[in-house]
Structure 1
Amino acid sequence: MQKKEKELNKPEQHFIFGKKNYTYMFIGLAVIALGFILMSGGGSEDPNEFNDAIYNFRRIRLAPTLVLLGFAIEVYAILLNPHKK
C-alpha cells in the first residue's frame, strides 16, 4: 500500500528540450562542422614555399560565415519553446 502512495506522489519527469530543439541543435552542429571542414587545408607541403590558396573566398568568407550561422542556429535551438505550437 505504501509503495502505491509513493508512486502517486512522484512528480513526472520531463526533458527540458523537445524533439524540435534537438533537431535544430543537430542541424546547427552539422553547419558548424561543415564550416570548420571548409576552413581546413590551404597549406603548403614545402615550408619554404607560400601558397596563396589560404586566402581564397572559401576559407576567408564562406567558412567563418557558416560557423557563425551554426552558432546562431544553436542559440535559436536553445531558446525555442518546445511546448509552443
Structure 2
Amino acid sequence: MEKEKTTFLFNKSNYILLIAGVLLNVIGFLLMIGGAAEDLNEFNEEELFSPVRLTVAPILIILGYAVIIYSIMKKPKISDDTKKIEE
C-alpha cells in the first residue's frame, strides 16, 4: 500500500507572513488606544491629536492588512518531492 502524502494549502512562509500581519494590526490598534482621562471636565488636546494616534497607527494597520492579504494570495513553491508524487 502506498501512503498518500497530503499537501497543505499554505506552507511555513505563508503562516509566518500571516502572523506578522496580525501582529502589525495588533500593534497598530494598541497605538491607537488613548489613555483614560484623569478629569472628565478637562480636554487633553495633545493626547487626542497625537501624531502616533493619527498617522503611525493607521499606517501600521493598513500595512498589516496588506501583509495578511499577501500571505493568503502567495502561492507556495512546489518542492521536488511533491512533483514526484503528482506524476
Same fold (TM over 0.5): yes
Structure 1: gaps of 5 or more residues:
none
TM-score by length of 2: 0.78
Q: Conserved in 2, the CA contact under 8 Å of 1:43 and 1:54?
A: no
Look up the match of 1:20.
Answer: 13
Query: Shift of the alpha carbon at 1:17?
Result: 0.3
Output aligned runs, 1:6-85, within 5 Å: 8=2, 11-52=4-45, 53-83=47-77
**Normalising by the residue count of structure 1, what TM-score does the alignment of the two structures yield?**
0.80
Deviation at 1:14, TM superposition (A): 1.6
Identity %: 37
Instruction: Check the 8 A contact 1:32/1:66 in 2, yes or no.
Output: yes
Alignment root-mean-square deviation, CA: 1.8
SS at match of 2:42: coil
Tell me how many residue pairs correspond in the alignment.
78
Q: Is the 8 A contact 1:43 1:51 kept in 2?
A: no
Question: Mind listing any 5+ residue stretches in structure 2 that lack a counterpart?
Answer: 80-87
Encode CA deviations 1:32-55: one digit per residue, 9 max, x unaligned.
111011111244221111111111
